[in-house]
Structure 1
Amino acid sequence: MASHRKPRQRPLRGGTVRTAATLALAGAATATAFEGTSQADPQRAPSGIKAEVDRLYEQAEAATERYNGAKEKAEEAQRALNELRDETARRTDRLNAARRALGSLAAGQYRSGGLDPAVQLAMADDPQDYLARAALLTRAGDRSAADIASVRRQLDEVGALRDRAAGHLAELRTGQAELAAQKSVAEEKLDEAKRLLARLTAEERAAYEAPAGGAAPADARTPAPSPPSDGSRAARAVAFARGAIGKPYVWGATGPGGYDCSGLTQAAYRSAGLSLPRTTYTQINAGRRVSRDDLAPGDLVFFYPGVTHVGLYIGNGQMIHAPRPGSTVRVAPVGSMPWAGATRPA
């Protein structure tokens, strides 16, 4: 019978032992590295969360400004539609009155003008009486022609008014659809930002809210310069903005209880007697452009490539602005956000 002995294993020599050990350690390190990679979530790192939240807030503010623009257009369309409807109703009443008068005149002429004029003359007892009546009928005919022309003109006018009203109604519906779309985008971005911020610890959240993030309240650490006292529009706008410090950021609001960024600057200049457009991307064109080196108190300062944020410059490199939802109107450095330009309202 064949022997079934277990083959004798040769001992590992020194070089072989070192090679095996190295491979074993490398394998363990690789496994650990893969395990760590599978567990790590870059988005959970505070720095990643902060960067993503900043991006979401910027996108939300861009949607907010588009919402503000669509709201302004929808409100203008609604006002125009209401005015046209009122004017159409007035014109329709006058048209109906003219139609009734024309109908009465036509009925009277039919009743009195059934006979041929020659027959009327032949039957008349007094030729002078006939001539008087003939002159009256001629004048009545002239009036009838004028009334008919007036009714036709009024019909055309009412039709044109109704066409214009239909156009404004279409604009209104388009604006309302845009409102809903931009509101949905802004709310989606804000909700996502809130979820990300909820991942931060209290200390990390406090660090994010610090002045470097452009979201800290104005306090003794960042004193605002005294406003100019020359009584100019700029001075009055700055004084208004200083009075709004501490009021909450309210999405799409123009005061007095709260503001968004462009709502604050619009309200500030409205208090000074100057009407500014509603949105950041229209406010930047509402005056003379100025360079960053030539800023003066009262200038509007704009940020981000899409011109989606605005503040009111108050001097010493600082501005008053409404930063974002969850914050309040406050003082912040102009250099705390990406610069886009500046305008001196006029």
Structure 2
Amino acid sequence: MASHRKSRPAGTLAAGLRTPALATAALTSVALLSQTANAAPTTDDRPSLEEVEKKVDDLYRQAESATEKYNKAKERTAEQRQRVDGLLDDVARRTQKLNEARDQLGSFAAAQYRTGAAAPDTATFLLAGNPQDYFDQAQLMNRLTGRQKDAVDAYITQQSETMEQRREATESLRTLTESQNDLKAAKATVQQKLTDARELLSELTAQEKARLAAIEKQKQEEAARKAAELARQQEQQRQAEAAAQQQQQESQTGTSGTGTSGTGASDTGTSTPSGSSTTQADKALAFARAQIGKPYVWGATGPDSYDCSGLTQASWKAAGVDLPRTTYDQVNAGTTVPLSQARPGDLVFFYDDVSHVGIYIGDGMMIHAPKPGAYVREESIYYDGESSIHSVVRPA
């Protein structure tokens, strides 16, 4: 994924990996690499600057996608571990009750033996697979009291339920192991992508880094231009909606000048509803702004660092709204709205695989945690080109 920022101190990637700030600032997408004519000719088998740039950009994109898969596997593993722990606790309680019931039935069998009604001893009963069979075969059921018969029935039921719980716990343990393996694989993938990117960047010369920085600056200017154009379009839409509202009010009252131009409009260019949703969006944005400057760390959910979905989840949680952990789930956790109607607090998702997300702040801008080696920052939603925008979702 492309980056848009000024040079910053080196930030921690993961597992001790650090990326030079100048190099990470130079990462851009292929969109503006039409300047290949300016590329220095290569005299050996080294890849061109454009090839390195594209490869690094792809690696960071792949790392972020793998991060969301890691987040999903981690969430699933935590849920399954909680379920397994609950099942094992339940099995332990049921086993204790089963042992107590077995001891009680054993006393019934011993009592029958002492009265001469049964030849087998208590040990025979305790080794029986089914107490009901034992009592039937020994022709003792007709000699048991109602309370004793109920105890036999309860034991059989408890025995069956305990065996079922044990089977369920065993299956859950197997599933948990699979999830843990998925988690390890996703983590290894992220770390390998970041390592590969770091190695490619370390091979760039100072001149190549400077050239990439110049391309980065051009991309930022283009992204800012598109954001300004979106803001202009949204303002026009706001004015049109305000005019329509005023005309409707005048028509209803039969007087002119009673409309309130701009009433209920947000500074993003769309009308903003009153009530709790606006308050929640304001709280989410206030939280997100307070995180600016904190490092991106894959898999992080705060408070000292975040990945992209970790930041949006924490921001809306501060507003009292619980979002799912991953971009894959967050994209379905609200109402999809057109980009032209985006307003502060909305979530903006990117790429076909929905592997990145930011929180819209208005005027074509957002706050997001861009990628490893970068920091939470404000940036144009067009930071990686217009085609990278997947959808806009309103959580509340």
The TM-score normalised by the length of structure 2 is 0.65
Is the aligned partner of 1:142 residue 2:161?
no
1:113 Cα deviation from its structure 2 partner: 5.3
Change (3 A) 1:210 1:252: farther
Per the alignment, residue 110 of structure 2 pairs with: 107
1:63 Cα deviation from its structure 2 partner: 0.8
The structure having more radius of gyration, on CA atoms, is 1
1:162 Cα deviation from its structure 2 partner: 1.1
1:166 Cα deviation from its structure 2 partner: 1.4
Q: Deviations over 1:278-328 (max 9, x none)?
A: 111111011111111110111111111111101111111111111111111
The AA in structure 1 aligned to 2:85 is N
The 3-state SS of whatever aligns with 1:298 is coil
Per the alignment, residue 344 of structure 1 pairs with: 394
Per the alignment, residue 86 of structure 1 pairs with: 89
Q: Is the 8 A contact 2:70 2:186 kept in 1?
A: yes
Q: Deviations over 1:222-244 (max 9, x none)?
A: xxx99999762221111111111
Distance 2:350 2:383 in 1: 10
**Residue in structure 2 matching 1:188, options 189, 192, 199:** 192
The AA in structure 2 aligned to 1:147 is A
1:267 Cα deviation from its structure 2 partner: 1.1
Q: Is the 8 A contact 2:70 2:183 kept in 1?
A: yes
Is the aligned partner of 1:284 residue 2:331?
yes
1:208 Cα deviation from its structure 2 partner: 6.7
**Residue in structure 1 matching 2:296, options 228, 244, 249:** 249
Distance 1:314 1:93 in 2: 58
Is the aligned partner of 1:313 residue 2:360?
yes
The AA in structure 1 aligned to 2:326 is T
The AA in structure 2 aligned to 1:91 is R
Q: Is the 8 A contact 1:248 1:259 kept in 2?
A: yes
The 3-state SS of whatever aligns with 2:145 is helix
Per the alignment, residue 160 of structure 1 pairs with: 164
Is the aligned partner of 1:330 residue 2:357?
no
Per the alignment, residue 219 of structure 2 pairs with: 212
Is the aligned partner of 1:60 residue 2:63?
yes
Q: Is the 8 A contact 1:197 1:205 kept in 2?
A: no
Per the alignment, residue 201 of structure 2 pairs with: 197
Per the alignment, residue 302 of structure 1 pairs with: 349
Q: Deviations over 1:51-86 (max 9, x none)?
A: 221111111111111111111111111000001111
The AA in structure 2 aligned to 1:342 is V
The 3-state SS of whatever aligns with 1:43 is coil
CA RMSD of aligned residues (A): 2.8
Distance 2:308 2:352 in 1: 16
> What is the number of residues matched between the two proteins?
279
Distance 2:42 2:210 in 1: 27
1:50 Cα deviation from its structure 2 partner: 1.9
Unaligned runs of 5+ in 1: 1-35, 116-136, 215-224
Per the alignment, residue 33 of structure 1 pairs with: none
Q: Is the 8 A contact 2:285 2:361 kept in 1?
A: yes
Change (3 A) 1:233 1:322: same
The AA in structure 2 aligned to 1:158 is T
Distance 2:318 2:357 in 1: 17
The TM-score normalised by the length of structure 1 is 0.74
**Residue in structure 2 matching 1:70, options 69, 73, 83:** 73
1:112 Cα deviation from its structure 2 partner: 3.0
1:44 Cα deviation from its structure 2 partner: 3.2
Q: Output aligned runs, 1:235-274, within 5 Å.
A: 235-274=282-321
Unaligned runs of 5+ in 2: 1-39, 119-140, 222-265
The 3-state SS of whatever aligns with 2:382 is helix
Distance 2:172 2:267 in 1: 47
Per the alignment, residue 53 of structure 2 pairs with: 50
Q: Is the 8 A contact 2:42 2:48 kept in 1?
A: no
Change (3 A) 1:55 1:310: same
Per the alignment, residue 174 of structure 2 pairs with: 170
The 3-state SS of whatever aligns with 2:320 is coil
